[in-house]
Structure 1
C-alpha cells in the first residue's frame, strides 16, 4: 500500500473512476493530497474581472470538489486539499519532487487522463505526459 499519494486534480477531466482506484492502493494510514493548480493568468482574470483573490479562489475550488470528496468519504479514504498558483506542469513537478517544505515525499502520483470533451488529439494530455515522463515518483494514469 502507498502512504502518501498525490492526485493532481483538473476540473476539465473526469475523475469518476479515481475513487475506485484509490480504494485499491491506500492503507489505513494513507493520505491522498488532492492538488489543484490555478494558473497565474486565471488568477489575474479572477482578480481583474470578478474581484476574487487567492483566498476566494481556494474556497471556490474546495466547494467545487465536494461531489468528488463525498465519494472519497464514502470509501473511507483520508485526504487533504492543496491549491497552488503558477504554471501547471512545473508547479506539479515541484510538488512531487520537493513535497511541501521538503517534508513530504510521495510514493505515488495518480492522474486522470479521461477528458470530458471527446475531441482529443493525443493519447495522453500535455500535462499528464510531462508529469509521467519527468516524475521521480511512480505515476498511475487512470482512464
Structure 2
C-alpha cells in the first residue's frame, strides 16, 4: 500500500504513536483508525457498485483500474493488434538490417584475414626485410 515507507519510518511512527497516545490508549486508537479505514473502503466499494449498476448490464465487468492511463494504453493499444501495432513494430525493428550488416562486416574481416595470412606465407624479397635490430621511429606528437 505504501511502497516508499521504510522500516525506520514505521519504527519512528510507532514510537511517536506510543509517546502521543500512551501505551494504555494506543490499542483503542488503532481500533478506531482501522474501523475508519474499513468504512471508507466499504463506501468506495458501494459507490463503484452503484456506478456499475447505473451504467447498465453491458458494463458489469467494468473495472475502474482500467481508467488509469498506463493500463488503458497497455490494454487497448499495446496488447491488441486491431491497430496493426505488431506490423509497425516489425517494420521499425532494426535487428534484421543490423544482422545483415554485421554478417557483411564479419565476412569482409574474414576475407582480409585470409588475404593477410596468404601474404605472410609468401617470402619477402631480401631488400625489404629489415634486420632484427631495426625499429620503427616513434613520434610522441603524432597522436
TM range (shorter): under 0.3
Higher strand fraction (1 or 2): 1
Which has more radius of gyration? 2
Structure of greater relative contact order (alpha carbons < 8 Å, 6+ residues apart): 1
| Higher helix content, 1 or 2 | 2
TM-score, normalised relative to structure 2:
0.22
